[in-house]
Amino acid sequence: MKKIILIVAVIIVVIFITTRNTDTQTIEPVSDLNNEMSQEETSNMVENIETISNNYQPYSSEKIAFAEEGNVVLFFRASWCPSCKALDDNIKANIENIPENLLILDADYDTETALKQKYGVTTQHTLVQVDAEGNMIQKWSGGSTLASIVSQI
């Protein structure tokens, strides 16, 4: 009987030690993976910042003056809007195809309330072409590609 208890105790100790070593080995790769993911996420953030070129930028009122030299289009985009996301993704994927004389300004539909009122924007995924003084030239909704914006101006 003592032999059986001793054998069971030894088995339990071996299982405990084996499980403990396995957990330690599992933790290290997961820790390394988390570090790699953090680096990857950081890299993606840098890429996203670099992706927004001189021709696709977040809205600010000073940037409208670019219309003295070219065309300015305000893109009223909501983060929760699937068609807005599709157009935003297409613009970013084709960033090198934005004509030099076109500046697209990404206006947050949910926070730019005064700007929406100024141009009569009532739905997200609305685009407004403006002149250098900020006067509306034209307004349209929809379009899922950069080419659709370029064809409107």
Which DSSP state fits 105?
Answer: E
pLDDT for the residue 74: 95
Digit-coded pLDDT (tens) for 117-126: 999 999 999 9
What predicted TM-score, i.e. pTM, was given to this entire model?
Answer: 0.64
Cα distances (angstroms) measured from residue 149 to each of 64, 74, 87, 104, 125? 17, 11, 10, 9, 12
Digit-coded pLDDT (tens) for 35-78: 444 555 544 444 444 434 589 999 999 999 999 989 999 999 99
Question: Would you state the structure tokens that stand for residue 94, as one six-digit string?
Answer: 């084709």
pLDDT for the residue 16: 63
